[in-house]
Structure 1
């Protein structure tokens, strides 16, 4: 069969006919149909296609141990959030800065090692979908400084592990830890993804938030954010991750008993954020 515009797609699809993994075959066939359809739609010149290959090459070359430009590209195109939304109602993007292992910390410990930001206590409860508290659930937490930087971005300024912590909930599924009031911040714009945003007239900013990954035996893990209500860009997150149910109010608490329990002085800034985990399919009777 001659390889022509009309026969190209069928020729490539036929090349996958011996694929034993049926899921892989499904993925490759769908990718081929959509990619060929895209090429037929825009009819790129050779120069444009070379520029596209060069862009993807630059994205890969920008990745290193502390930066994932392909994740960033997936984020700004809304693909990360689409995959998350297909797989979980309250899941959000992992983001490009979950690149190091969070240090284990005791409940109530602060993840702020600098002591320069406006202190904030984050507390909540991890429960099953039916409201049952989940004791000993694992909570991986990370956030930026009040200036909008993660520690992997400032290795000469922030100590390793600043803004990060790995906690376990108590017997009632509760958690609490100290941190700082986070800031809105721009995603990295010094690479090819930044160039793409500038070329398309898009801003690079994310609203203020705290990241969470929650896990518990017999339940599906969830990756999520607590977004600060009223933060700039709350309605135009560069990576499309804001969901109404994740917007969290920061309040000034004067409760002396809570202050004592959290190990701070009243008044203090407080964010309450509960996390619900769905039962894992294999754990369902």
Structure 2
């Protein structure tokens, strides 16, 4: 090695460290990885320079990320909460989900989806004992051209009236307020569940303490999650929100879109949409989804 070059690499300072790190990536043949790591290093170093990051603050950041990882489990993904509350989830989602006018907008996935939700026939009660006021949900799934999408796969999940998803309960013995259904031959769907209510994201961990320090609340407006898949169409991950919710303008995870806000009217006790008798007031939601065709 040339003596001058050796001197440069051994005696790095705040002005030369960034280029030294980037030079270690020069051999990468994976161009996408190289692009990502180069930008990551440049932005991290620029951030530290801009705020004049101290060693004490750096250690605090390391401790925060360590604790964030340690609290993660099969029932809780704190890093997704961190990404959500910093707006990164919405940013990435928006970049990847540009859709033509008329298609249902996507929004954040959230940390409480599960892959093995039970399958129900249309009209079933997917609440399966979850606490909450009865709610009857119906609508259609169509393509952008108006074509009904028969047998589209719909995954649905939500929190109960206490603000918890089933997987947040330590004594969970079966899934509640979540299920998988398929549209009928005309692209229609209908099922019974419970009324969606606003709830706080888990805020007893590092992300919650971060929000408190920032003077932010942890609340999400009432919503119902959907993941919809149909052959030849882009998968749609979205929510439907209640129009009267007080947190629509301050969603802790920045997930609300005006096109995803709907009326959830309340009805007096009596005959429900499925023909059964409801002895208490019930709610209804009617919402049509429009999927975007896959690019050929």
Give TM-score scaled by structure 1 length. Answer: 0.92
- Count of aligned pairs between the two proteins: 278
Q: Aligned residue for 2:82? A: 73
1:121, 1:270 within 8 Å by CA — same for their partners in 2? yes
How far off its partner does 1:252 sit? 3.9
How far off its partner does 1:9 sit? 1.6
2:130, 2:177 within 8 Å by CA — same for their partners in 1? no
Q: Which runs of 5+ in 1 are unaligned?
A: none
Whole-angstrom CA distance in 1 between matches of 2:87 and 2:123: 35
1:218, 1:280 within 8 Å by CA — same for their partners in 2? yes
How far off its partner does 1:100 sit? 5.4
Larger Rg: 2
2:130, 2:160 within 8 Å by CA — same for their partners in 1? no
> What's the secondary structure of 1:250's corresponding residue?
coil
Q: Which runs of 5+ in 2 are unaligned?
A: 1-7, 99-104
Q: Aligned residue for 1:49? A: 58
2:192 equivalent to 1:183: no
Deviations, residues 262-285 of structure 1 (Å, cap 9, x unaligned): 34347742101122211112xx3x
1:1-285 aligned at under 5 Å gives the runs 1-2=8-9, 3-89=12-98, 90-99=105-114, 101-114=116-129, 116-156=131-171, 159-252=173-266, 259=273, 262-265=274-277, 268-281=282-295, 284=296
How far off its partner does 1:4 sit? 1.9
1:67, 1:99 within 8 Å by CA — same for their partners in 2? no
Deviations, residues 25-70 of structure 1 (Å, cap 9, x unaligned): 1111111111111011111111110110010010000100110000
How far off its partner does 1:142 sit? 0.2
1:226, 1:247 within 8 Å by CA — same for their partners in 2? yes
How far off its partner does 1:232 sit? 2.3
2:133, 2:282 within 8 Å by CA — same for their partners in 1? no
> What's the secondary structure of 1:48's corresponding residue?
helix
2:71, 2:78 within 8 Å by CA — same for their partners in 1? yes
Whole-angstrom CA distance in 2 between matches of 1:54 and 1:101: 34
Whole-angstrom CA distance in 2 between matches of 1:278 and 1:257: 36
Give TM-score scaled by structure 2 length. Answer: 0.89
Deviations, residues 155-207 of structure 1 (Å, cap 9, x unaligned): 43x64210100011111111111101111000001110011011111000001
